[in-house]
Structure 1
Amino acid sequence: MFKIVGIINYLFVVFLNAFTDLGHKIIIQNTVFKTYEGSEQIIFTAVVNALILLPFILAFSPSGFLADRFAKNIIMKYSALLAVFITLLITYSYYQGWFFTAFALTFLLALQSAIYGPAKYGYIKELVGVKYISAGNGAIQATTTAAILLGIIFYTVLFEMLLGDNFSTKEDILHVIAPLGWLLVLGSVVEYILASKLPNKMIEATKREFVFKRYIRGEYLKKNMIMIMRKKEIFDAIIALSLFWSISQVVLAIFGEYAKGKLGITNAITVQGVMALAVLGIVFGSVIAANLSKYYVNMGLSALSAFGIAVVLFFIPHTSSITLLSLEFIFFGLFSGVLIVPLNAKIQLLSPNIHLGTILAGNNFIQTLFMFAFLMLTTIFAYFGVDATSLFYLMMITGVYLSIKLFKRYFVMSFWAFFELLFRIRYKFNYVGLENVEPSGAIMLIGNHVSWIDWFILQLPLERRISYIIDKDIYKHKLLNWAFKLAELIPVSQRASKNSFVETSMKLKNGKIVAIFPEGEISRSSDVSKFYRGYEFIDRSGSVIVPFYIDGVFGSLFARHKGDARRCFLKKREITLYFGEPITGTITPEELREMVVNLKC
């Protein structure tokens, strides 16, 4: 992916945009931290975050229209130019000691980001294509969060170094730290220069015209919301992201007061540093999610990580150690990154190119509504004396709801994602000839049977769910029968196989993918055993046979022969699965076995 022209430049543009926006927010938040306490601190922090969110609500229709109407690189270019003028105004406010003016200019800087957002995320699909959409989202999420992490550390450290004890009011603080404003300006100028060099990758533009009266009357809002809700999976993914970002906003808003009131921490570097570790976790989580979505968008990861977030939120209020809090925030970020990347990739993948900008703007709009509502509720709760600990528990309950919502939709994928995480601890998987397994159409996978995890090795790179033929006695196992039914496995026995062949034929007629191990049992040696001819009794008209050969599992813990007991435990076992070219005609068991054996050659 990194060989694609423009990708590195694009990542730098994204980095600088987030780094600069975050810089001003940190300066204002640290000023609030230094001059307010208790409920006032929570309220002002929540209002700062609300000012950042409000433009995403107001600019929903215009930003979506612009991203669909004009080339996305042009939108990013002029948004960066707008940021140059806004940061100059912010710097002037610092020097004048105008706290509330600088506070209000947070809104304008966020408005620039709201216009920029749909173009930034829509550009991913245009630049890297569907093949690298998960990797592209992982790279952008990692870059954005790295910028946030470095921005938090960079501006907080400089803030504390310049400030010292030389202040008594918030106006004094701005006078002292005013030179930091020039760094905001510099970041915006460099971003503009780099954005000017981004290639135009526009595929298709809308021919609609923007009518301001229709925007004021809310007609665009209504029409765009209908478009977003048209595909339920897109809308559900947007709601899931909205709940997650709402939880995150509240956690960031209340942690400062929690650290100050419950733990007695008054140093802004310590507080911001602990929260910054969550951003570091997001970087690692984004990379992990992109790696685990190498073959398709792995939505099961989002469900598992939502549960992880809820668990972390439960432990934070019970923790008084800075070291443990730091570890918990790292895990919060890690789970967050794993949750975000598949959801964003899925939205982009399912969205038609001509409406991509509008749908991504709608994504921002709904997320912002949720975050704004959560922050307002936080402000109200704080006003009536609800402490940070109670708010943490409320966010934990929200996290539990989010995980339940995702598990209901992606239960099967969550099951496979769990096993993938488990097996990747000890195994490295390679796939050769994966392009021979078409993303649609009836396919019969036939190959060697080496271990108890062959079912997993076959399924791992395929988004389509495979129906396996399984021994009837195993299928009827009391504890596992419900899972086998859910997985649509096909039971077969030597005495009564006709029904199994009929069921398999029906699945193939319906365009499904079925896997058969014609050896009949797990190999007891490294040789491929005789292939039985049962598959010949299956009606496979309209389907193809794709032969496969699994190599590297024999001798492992899950094979009949356990191999060398002296093998280093820390060294991963490398497993390679070879897929052969599709076979359309008839083929004898002997010929098929020979073809399977030769796949490794």
Structure 2
Amino acid sequence: MSKPSQFSLLPQRRFGPFFWTQFFGAFNDNVFKTALLVALTYDALSWTTMEPAMLNSLIPGLFILPYVLFSATAGQIADKVEKGRLARFVKVLEVAIMMIAAVGWLTHTLWILIAAVVGMGLHSTLFGPVKYAYMPQHLKPEELVGGNGLVEMGTFVGILLGQVIGAALVQAKPYGVELVAGATLVFALVGLVASWRIPHSPAPAPDLKINPNPLAESIRNIAFSRQNRTVFLSMLGNSWFWFYGALVLSQFPIFAKDYLHGDYSVFVMLLTVFSVGVGAGSLLCERLSGHKVEIGLVPFGSIGLSLFGIDLYFASLGFKGTEAVDMLGLLAQAGSLRILADIMMLGVFGGFYIVPLFALIQTRCDPQHLSRTIGGMNILNALFMVAAAGLAMLMLSQGFTIPEMFLATALLNALVALYIFSLVPEFLMRFLAWMLIHTIHRVTTVDVDRIPEEGPAVLVCNHVSYVDAIVIGAASPRPIRFVMDHRIFNTPFLGWIFRTAKAIPIASAKEDPWVMEKAYVDIAKALHEGELVCIFPEGKLTSTGEMNEFRGGIAKIVERSKVPVIPMALRGLWGSLLTRDPGNPFERSFARGPRSKLALAVGVPVTPQQATPEYLQQQVMALRGDWK
């Protein structure tokens, strides 16, 4: 049976009210900020004597300031307080801020509106940890990627619509200011109504004592997150995406005006295309990941961010339009579609990059510390965005053109990606596995949900090809420790990959009794720590397509570690290029054709008492059937 689409979450109370609450929060933030920036840009003298350029830099900075100062405190509050109650408090705060802002709008008092900007930054800071810590409490593990995809799509669509509607309302003469004051208050009330239906979400750490020192808590929070290497580097990867996005998107107004010779509608179109791309990429993550947290999509997304960033540079150089155009006029210009396609694909691959990272943090982080981890990540996001602004100013002062900034950002992204993936090779390993089963093969899984989501277990499977472990690893919702022949484990170059994947080398008693005994010790230790271990009990690849006799190693394992054993069977790999089929390898490859079909079937867990080699071989053979 096919699993329901992520959109089926929207009508459900456990997700829908939360989704609309966060959507209207992001939407209203941008209606208010954009309206204020447009008003100060086009009608500055009626508000202040300060330079509009100075205000356009100051206001976004003031909005981000609470993220830097109070994200750690917000994370503590979200871990201590029931999340539905906290969401409603934040929405009440938003209504109050918009009422104060209305006074500023109607009295033309700039300092009140700037205070409201800081208030909305504080509102977003408080809601940030709730936004991502809420989902693991109400969504199943297989729904997390889809849920995160919807939230990211909703956030970017909310930002886009907010910018468009904010600019349109404030420029509607003669009552633009009044329309903004009323509309932002109404949108805040709609968000409050939505928050009232958010279900009860128990606080994971109700006895937590709030640290009143935000700076000390920020340092302690980030230090705690660093203890989990994978989570911390995922946080840095997430912040890098916001650095990349801030650096590129901040150049869109000048790029639209000076390079594309467009009016305001062209700028809006660039934002729209990028936002649609992020939304599409975020939603596609669920389908591409097979309803599980597939971190192999992160390198895929990073590759796309670099490739399409580089092509945006060349497409910009190739654009020869010189006449002033609006949105429709730009579409008629030669080369414009390539630029728009590059911007859309930056968004799509950005979605592939960011959604699995959020899901990974949610699943690998200590649940009692999740909100504080998200708070720490928001601090890093804000600092990275400030750094992006600083780098943009430095590059412009050094004479970089906007296309050259796009190129430099794309190349820098490639270097950062290589660095992060070298520190956490699991990303790269999952990417290679994901590519294998989405390019060379079409893999069908049968009852893969029988692999436990947590706790120790031994997986046993027939051994058909040199890529068996990759196929199994790609289908599993969790990392697996594979037991493999020590000679293959020590192969030059490939050995680095096997060590990276934390494979366990084993030898026979005749070859090296010390290596054999160490393997059993390592297996027992891995199972004791709650990991999955996979062995191929045949001990060698089949040379006929038929299964070899299961050896006694599995009995020794379950004798030491009383854990369930899960039989599995690979179907359809025999005869592929990387098997020991004696036929001509090229003929075999062409006979099977591209995207050949194969399947992984997972059986019912077997108790340690039943897990004899003979019984397990019967189970695996029954799962495989006649399809070799």
**What TM-score do the two structures reach when normalised by structure 2?**
0.78
Q: Describe the SS at the equivalent of 2:445.
A: strand
Give 1:200 deviation, angstroms: 1.6
Q: Is the 8 A contact 1:306 1:339 kept in 2?
A: yes
Which residue does 1:262 correspond to in 2? 259
Q: 1:69 aligns with which of 54, 70, 80?
A: 80
2:201 corresponding residue in structure 1: 201
Q: For residues 363-412 of structure 1, what are the alpha-carbon distances to aligned partners after superposition, in whole Å with 9 as ceiling and x for unaligned?
A: 21232123224324534665776543454345335423431332123213
Q: Report the secondary structure of 2:482's partner residue.
A: strand
Q: 1:125 aligns with which of 136, 153, 156?
A: 136
1:372-451 alignment to 2 at 5 Å?
Answer: 372-379=386-393, 382=396, 387-425=401-439, 426-432=441-447, 434-436=449-451, 439-441=454-456, 443=458, 445-451=459-465
For residues 243-281 of structure 1, the C-alpha deviation after alignment (integer angstroms, 9 at most, x for no partner) is 32122112221221122122222x222212212322222
In 2 relative to 1, CA 568–194 (structure 1 residues): closer, same or farther, beyond 3 Å?
Answer: farther
What is the aligned residue count?
Answer: 578
Alignment of 1:52-67 (within 5 A): 52-67=63-78
Aligned partner of 2:608 among 554, 563, 584: 584
Contact 1:241 1:340 in 2 (8 A): yes
CA distance in 1 between partners of 2:489 and 2:129 (Å): 49
Once the two structures are TM-superposed, the CA of residue 331 in structure 1 deviates from its matched residue by: 2.1
Q: Match of 1:365, SS?
A: helix
Report the AA paired with residue 204 of structure 1: P
Shift, 1:139, TM fit: 3.0
Residue pair 1:471, 1:493 contacting (<8 A) in 2 also: no
Shift of 1:451: 4.6
Report the Cα offset of residue 516 of structure 1.
0.8
Deviation at 1:195, TM superposition (A): 0.5
**2:48 paired residue number:** none
Structure 2 counterpart of 1:551 = 571
Q: 2:559 aligns with which of 530, 541, 547?
A: 541
Task: Verify the 8 A CA contact 1:42 1:257 in the aligned structure 2.
Answer: no
- What is the aligned partner in structure 2 of residue 168 from structure 1? none
Give the partner amino acid of 1:270: V
Q: Residue 324 and residue 587 in structure 1: after superposition, are their counterparts in 2 closer, same or farther (change >3 A)?
A: same
Distance (whole Å) between structure 2 residues aligned to residue 449 and residue 566 of structure 1: 22
Distance 2:357 2:489 in 1: 34
1 CA distance for matches of 2:499 and 2:393?
Answer: 49
Question: Contact 1:302 / 1:339 at 8 angstroms: preserved in 2?
Answer: yes
User: Given the superposition, is the C-alpha separation of residues 375 and 550 from structure 1 closer, same or farther in structure 2, using an over 3 Å criterion?
Assistant: same
Structure 1 CA distance for aligned equivalents of residues 142 and 537 of structure 2: 31
Contact 2:542 2:548 in 1 (8 A): no
SS at match of 1:424: helix
Per the TM alignment, residue 191 of structure 1 is displaced from its structure 2 partner at its CA by: 0.8
Which deviations, in whole Å up to 9, do the C-alpha atoms of 1:199-232 show, x marking residues without a partner? Answer: 1211434335658xx448x554454454444544
Distance 1:514-1:447 versus aligned 2 partners, 3 A rule: closer
Query: Does the 8 Å CA contact 2:315/2:338 hold for their aligned counterparts?
Result: yes
Residues 77/466 of structure 1: CA separation in 2 closer, same or farther (3 Å cut): same
1:138 to 144, 149, 174: 149
Q: Aligned match of 2:250 in 247, 250, 253?
A: 253
Secondary structure of the 1:201 match is coil
Do the aligned partners of 1:86 and 1:108 also contact (CA within 8 Å) in 2?
yes
Q: Structure 1 residues 355 and 206 mapped into 2: Cα distance closer, same or farther (>3 Å)?
A: farther
**How far apart are the structure 1 equivalents of 2:397 and 2:69?**
26
Distance 1:43 1:50 in 2: 11
1:67-466 matches, within 5 Å, as 67-91=78-102, 93-94=104-105, 102=113, 105-128=116-139, 132-155=143-166, 158=168, 176=176, 178-207=178-207, 214-215=212-213, 218-265=215-262, 267-291=263-287, 297-320=293-316, 321-379=335-393, 382=396, 387-425=401-439, 426-432=441-447, 434-436=449-451, 439-441=454-456, 443=458, 445-460=459-474, 461-466=476-481
Query: Which of 505, 523, 526 is the equivalent residue of 2:520?
Result: 505
Q: What TM-score do the two structures reach when normalised by structure 1?
A: 0.81
Deviates more, 1:309-318 or 1:115-124: 309-318
- What one-letter code is carried by the residue in structure 2 that aligns with 1:578? V
Mapped to 1, the partners of 2:35 and 2:427 lie a distance apart of 43
Q: What is the CA–CA distance in structure 1 between the aligned matches of 2:190 and 2:12, rounded to whole Å?
A: 22
- Contact 1:48–1:103 (CA under 8 A) maintained in structure 2: yes
Say which of 463, 466, 469 aligns to 2:484: 469
Gaps of 5+ in 2: 1-5, 45-50, 317-334, 528-532
Please give the alpha-carbon distance, in whole angstroms, between the structure 2 residues aligned to 1:340 and 1:532: 43
Contact 1:442 1:510 in 2 (8 A): no
1:596: which partner in 2? 620
Alpha-carbon distance between aligned partners in 2 of 1:590 and 1:352, rounded to the nearest angstrom: 40
- The one-letter code sitting in structure 2 at the alignment partner of 1:121 is Y
Contact 2:252–2:270 under 8 Å retained in 1: no
**SS of the counterpart of 1:318?**
helix
Contact 2:453/2:478 (8 A) holds in 1: no
Asked whether the equivalents of residues 555 and 611 of structure 2 are also in contact (C-alpha less than 8 Å), the reply is no
Deviation string 1:35-76 (CA, Å, 9 cap, x unpaired) is: 89xxx8876544332222112123234423432332221221
In 2, the alpha carbon distance for the partners of 1:132 and 1:270 equals 37
Q: Deviations over 1:172-206 (max 9, x none)?
A: x7954652443332221111111112112114343
Provide Cα deviations, 1:90-127, integer angstroms capped at 9, x if missing partner.
Answer: 45555666677646633322222112222222222222
Identity %: 19
Aligned alpha-carbon RMSD (Å): 4.0
Provide the rounded CA distance (Å) in 2 between the counterparts of 1:498 and 1:448.
25
Q: Residues 117 and 434 of structure 1: is their aligned pair in 2 closer, same or farther, counting only changes over 3 Å?
A: closer
What aligned pairs does 1:10-25 form with structure 2 within 5 A after superposition?
10-25=18-33
3-state SS of 1:6 partner: coil
